Amino acid sequence: MRARATAATAVILLAALTGCGGSDEGSDTAETPTAAAAEPDPSGQPTAGQVEEGMQLGDPAQTAGDGGIGVLQITPDTVVFVKEATGETPANGVFAVVAMKDKAMTGAAADEVAPISGGGWKWMAPDGEMVGWDSGNATGVTPDKYSNAEPIQPGAWQWRSQTFDLTPAQAEGGTLIYVDGNEAAHRWEMPTTDSGPNAADLKKRLTS
């Protein structure tokens, strides 16, 4: 009898220990909840503070208009490097002139961000130095056809341009940066020689 009682007690203890082990194993393998991925804005409006990288000359970017109003599709499609433009000579060695096509993409008129706000266009040199829209004599370069500046109405588009007064070293493999109305940065890698489908036309208007 005593032997049977001892055996029964052992069976009960073994079952209890097995049950505890199963509980610990389950807690060890429990999955940790993961955060849900952010849903894209259905309006197509760029996310505030985002950085869009890896674009090349000719690639379009969806940008928030000035003040966050409307969506402007900006496509820098041509860049030329000149030592004289519309009667101006560069203070630092060379003008980099970029032509872009701006198109309003929603039912609201949209415009590029005013540089005075801290956004707009910048040129990042290969060593990381930032060159602003008002560098050297850049603001005096106003090529005909590429100097539009009024807000773009829904469904319409226009040509614009941005000039930077650079040293030869700053012009070697720079990055064009545009900070839009939501403070999202859009970046295009720039070639080191005249490039784009409108290069001949742009250079003609810069020298006429």
- The 3-class secondary structure across the chain, one letter per residue, is CHHHHHHHHHHHHHHHHHHHHHHHHHHHCCCCCCCCCCCCCCCCCCCCCCEEEEEECCCCEEEECHHHCCEEEEEEEEEEEECCECCECCCCCEEEEEEEEEEECCCCCECCCCHHHCCEEEEECCCCCEEECCCCCHHHCCCCCCCCCCCECCCCEEEEEEEEEECCCCCCCCEEEEECCCCCEEEEECCCCCECCCHHHHHHHHHC
- Rounded to two decimals, the pTM is 0.76
- Tell me the pLDDT tens digit for each residue of 39-68: 334 444 444 445 666 899 999 999 999 999
pLDDT higher than threshold 60 for residue 38: no
Q: Residue 81: pLDDT band by 50, 70, 90 thresholds?
A: very high
Average pLDDT over residues 4-20: 40
Which pLDDT does position 53 carry in this prediction? 67
Q: Residue 141: pLDDT band by 50, 70, 90 thresholds?
A: very high
- Tell me the pLDDT tens digit for each residue of 91-137: 999 999 999 999 999 999 999 999 888 899 999 999 999 999 999 99
Q: 51-207 sits in which CATH class?
A: mainly beta
Which pLDDT does position 177 carry in this prediction? 97
